[in-house]
């Protein structure tokens, strides 16, 4: 499944690609990527489940099989996929296959959802390098799976950190995201 968009401007043509990451609550996965050069958009949504056009309430049950994901549109000539992977890893506990922090239902598990063979290979290399780094006392188990149909989440989830910063910060603390980052990535 290839997600490439070609845009033309007066000065030339540029190609945008898609990258999709799951790492617990999608609200917390937006901010690390949003201010980077070459990032043209980030949409929170759902991927991988059995229900078409799922609602947040359906996904929240953990019974639809969807993951909460962010789908990033990026210009690889400015911000290569490998740099996205470098930003992704420090946002999660890659040794936890069942969720992230206090977010324990199945929609919160971490995964890299690749859109083409190059992304799959880059993700596998990156995961192997991280696993061999000695940073963790358990194996890196983050899944690498083929991207499937992406369903954008409801509008109130998009850029949630800007819409309700106080609740976003409280949710981030409750989820344990900052504790994960401190434990594994502050060194």
Q: Where are the domains of the chain?
A: 4-185
Rounded Cα distance, 26 and 67, in Å? 9
The active-site residue out of 25, 30, 92, 123 is: 25
Backbone angles phi and psi of 167, in degrees to 5: -65, -35
User: What CATH code would you report for 4-185?
Assistant: 3.30.1060.10
Residue 25: active-site member: yes
pLDDT tens digits, 114-141: 999 999 999 999 999 999 999 999 999 9
Q: What is the pTM of this model?
A: 0.91
Q: Quote the pLDDT of residue 5.
A: 56
């Amino acid at each position: 499944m290839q997600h490439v968009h070609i845009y033309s401007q007066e000065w030339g043509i540029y190609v945008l690609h898609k990258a999709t990451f799951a790492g617990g609550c999608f609200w917390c996965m937006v901010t690390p990527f949003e201010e980077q050069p070459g990032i043209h958009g980030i949409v929170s949504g759902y991927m991988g489940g059995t229900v078409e056009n799922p609602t947040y309430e359906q996904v929240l049950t953990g019974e639809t099989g969807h993951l909460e994901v962010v789908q990033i549109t990026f210009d690889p000539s400015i911000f290569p996929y490998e740099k996205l992977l470098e930003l992704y890893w420090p946002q999660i506990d890659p040794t936890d296959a069942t969720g992230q922090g206090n977010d324990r239902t199945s929609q919160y598990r971490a995964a890299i959802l690749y859109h083409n063979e190059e992304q799959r290979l880059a993700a596998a290399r990156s995961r192997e390098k991280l696993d061999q780094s000695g940073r963790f006392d358990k194996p890196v188990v983050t899944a690498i799976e083929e991207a499937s149909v992406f369903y954008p989440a409801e509008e109130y989830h998009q850029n949630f950190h800007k819409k309700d910063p106080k609740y976003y910060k409280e949710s981030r603390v409750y989820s344990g995201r900052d504790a994960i980052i401190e434990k594994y990535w502050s060194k």
